[in-house]
Copies of this chain bind each other. A is one copy, B any other.
Amino acid sequence: MTKAKQQRTLETRARLVAAAQAVIEDVGYEGLRVDQVVKGAGVAKGTFFAHFRDKDALMDQLIGARIDAHLDQLEALPEPQTVVEIVEALLPMMRYMTCERYVFDVILRYSGAAAVAEIGPIANTFGRHAQVIEPWFVHGNFRTDIKPDLISEGVMAFAIQAMSLMFCALHNETDLRARLTLYLDAWLQPRTVS
């Protein structure tokens, strides 16, 4: 975890990130080209790859930061007490995650890190997401037959499923909110083993 980077390094990296955000601003994530970013930052192409392992690593960082901001919002919220409240709480982040097919693909690809040493921003947000929503199920009006962390994992699995189906022609007659509500009703309703 030692950094000890030069001032110049930090400035260059900041310029690259700023340039990337500007490019995304007008052509979207999918339309981003590394050549455009380095041109905007006023550096050579090689410099980009000295700062980011590859183009996806930049995306990981930018998208991860946006997701983190949404998680901050979630934490600031009062704990939702019903399925409808949970869905409303999660929707803004889910809409961002599905703003572009490309963005959702990157998120899926990076949500699991291949090695502990490689845990990136998006992978971290998934761990944090589970932590942020877990308390909702400790004192809420939801099922109590399984542990809160397992409930959390299930909520995330259904959120991903609902988002995936947004890009699917076979299922898009139902919108994101309705689909997630359907899933979470079935997953969260308090029940007793019969």
Answer yes or no: A178 CB below 8 A from chain B CBs.
Answer: no
Partner of A191, one of B165, B166, B193: B193
Report the interface size class on chain A.
35 or more
Q: Is A182 an interface residue (CB 8 A)?
A: yes
Q: Is there an interface contact between B189 and A187, defined as CB atoms closer than 8 Å?
A: no
Is A186 at the interface (CB under 8 A from chain B)? yes
> In the bound complex, what is the Cα–Cα distance between A156 and B183 (angstroms)?
12
Q: Which residue of B lies closest to A192 (CB)?
A: B194
Q: How far is the CA of A119 from the CA of B158 in the complex (A)?
A: 23
CB pair A190–B190 under 8 Å, yes or no, is: no
Q: Which residues in chain A, 57-76, are within 8 Å of chain B measured between CB atoms?
A: none
* Contact of A51 with B by CB under 8 A: no
B112 and A165 within 8 A (CB): yes
Contact of A187 among B109, B168, B170, B187 (CB under 8 A): B187
Q: Closest chain B residue to A163 by CB distance?
A: B112
Which residues, 34 to 69 on A, are CB-close (under 8 Å) to B? none
Q: Identify 17 residue pairs between A and B in the complex whose beta-carbon atoms are under 8 Å apart, listed by A's number.
A: A101-B114, A108-B164, A112-B168, A112-B170, A114-B168, A115-B169, A118-B169, A119-B170, A123-B168, A145-B191, A150-B182, A154-B158, A156-B161, A157-B161, A189-B193, A190-B193, A192-B194
Interface residues, chain A, CB within 8 Å of chain B? 101, 105, 108-109, 111-116, 118-119, 123, 127, 145-146, 150, 153-154, 156-158, 160-161, 164-171, 182-183, 186-187, 189-194
